Chains A and B, each alone.
Chain A
């Protein structure tokens, strides 16, 4: 079931695109203190970061666990393993009011079905809201994370269907229409600066002065043609464009042996 593993150089360990994405996202968490963890890929990236670049990272789960120390990879964000040994377990009212809206969360991790060049996210519907082609889960805590977390990391796989010119529904605000975003966020009293990084299976993007995504690092094995073929807009590329360092053997060991031995996230 697993995807082919491609190495950057003959001597490097082989790794999959998903493993590279998880490793790149985990590394972005270096130096961060409090991280709000979402379901799916963020879950494994954050748990990898805690074992590598950010050992003191406090994991916050919207289900109410603060300072979680999961002994196994939680399948859902409400897994009992995030409770046992946590610093605190609080009601969702406290979690959303005091921890998130109160401004204590440094990084919120979000994924979505669609993202646009400004980092606005859709996790609600594909097609029209009243008569959707595909009904997706909806906001959950995503819209409040996008507004209240000090910064937002986006992690998702690139495709023409997900990296689109116009998203069908704005569930979570990113840089809105572009350069004005910072002013609007300030005037409306949001605590968050918005999305600061987008990590995909092909590369790492940050946002330029116009609030648009810029490819700053391309993963080993990926090409600019692949990047262009999987985006609904003309990609902006940094000069110079660097290559993401390949996963280390230890990062790969942690993912394969400790965090995701069944390949649930990496296949």
Chain B
């Protein structure tokens, strides 16, 4: 059965006010298209979970969708700070925001515990740091098999996880390549999963290369086909990170007024991703294509009858 729907319908039906939402993807495959649709539909009181809130959560926080952030690295990668979030944290402007802070491995472990139906994830981080004081959910535990002490973090089970990928079939069997981040863990941990892809493919394409399937349709609720949906982040083999925009955002987001003007023009002012891409212009888009091809070799799975 086809699960293909529009982004508008996917967000309207699967994202609710007050939800814990994870739009994952580590630098790579960040679904800005879904974040923007959540802003347009004026969802409120969300808890936004991501290792790196990145520009997408800075925009969603600026738009007033969130009451809380769960994260491990709060910056504009390669550029500097996230100013809309910093205004909320440093100046309570226009209102405070709740923070729940871990390290990268702690966040990965939280999704892993959530996906595996475990009560905690153990790790050898946090010793002699101030992080357990800042976040009382990071706790030391004794090994049941000796004197070792390790730290534990609680499971994270998002109400909705959004995953961007290169391709999926209509049932949501999803294949991706390049940096995988913790998209698989975040998807398996979630109550509901939205998969957003550059390209819809046939079931035969999936079955021809089953090792590349990261997320099975079994756990997917909606498939949205949204080319260029990860811009200004990137999709391996399809388009590059738009570093110019990451730098531009630093200036745009320094003042609340310029931030809102940007949201008005690029989020509220467009109907959806196709219009956003058209507004970017063919030249900007073409400039982000890879400079050459680097195809993988193919492997032979063999036929066994």
Contact = CB atoms under 8 A, between A and B. Distances in A.
Interface of A: 39-40, 62-65, 75-80, 83-85, 89-93, 96-97, 100-101, 124, 129, 132-144, 147-148, 169-173, 176, 184, 188-191
A63 B90 contact: no
Contacts of B182: 91-93
Which 5 residue pairs are nearest across A and B when measured between Cβ atoms? A78-B27, A140-B73, A137-B75, A76-B78, A76-B77
20 contacts: A64-B180, A75-B241, A75-B246, A76-B78, A80-B234, A90-B180, A92-B104, A101-B105, A101-B123, A124-B131, A129-B130, A133-B90, A134-B90, A135-B74, A138-B73, A141-B105, A143-B126, A144-B123, A173-B128, A188-B128
Nearest to A130: B134
B228 interface: no
Q: Is the interface of A mostly helix, strand, loop or mixed?
A: loop
Contacts of A78: 26-28, 77, 179, 241
Nearest to A141: B104
Contact of A93 (B77, B112, B133, B148): B112
Interface residues of B, number: 53
Contacts of B241: 75-76, 78-80
Contacts of A170: 128-130
A188 B127 contact: yes
Contacts of B149: 188
Given A63-B27, A78-B241, 17 more contacts: A63-B179, A75-B77, A76-B246, A78-B26, A93-B108, A97-B105, A135-B81, A138-B72, A140-B52, A140-B104, A142-B103, A143-B103, A170-B129, A171-B130, A173-B127, A188-B127, A188-B149
A135 B104 CA distance: 18
A14 to B, nearest CB: 28
Nearest to A65: B179
B75 A147 contact: no
Nearest to B236: A80
A135 B86 contact: yes
A188 to B, nearest CB: 5
Contact of A169 (B108, B130, B178): B130
B89 A132 contact: yes
Nearest to A94: B180
B124 interface: yes
Given A63-B179, A144-B104, A83 B125 contact: no
Contacts of A76: 27, 77-78, 241, 246
Contacts of A100: 105
Nearest to B90: A135
Contacts of A184: 128
B184 interface: yes
- Residue of A92, A93, A100, A169 ringed by the most chain B CB atoms within 10 A: A92
A84 B294 contact: yes
Contacts of A189: 124, 148
Contacts of B71: 138
Contacts of B73: 137-141
Contacts of A173: 127-129
Contacts of A65: 179
Contacts of B133: 129
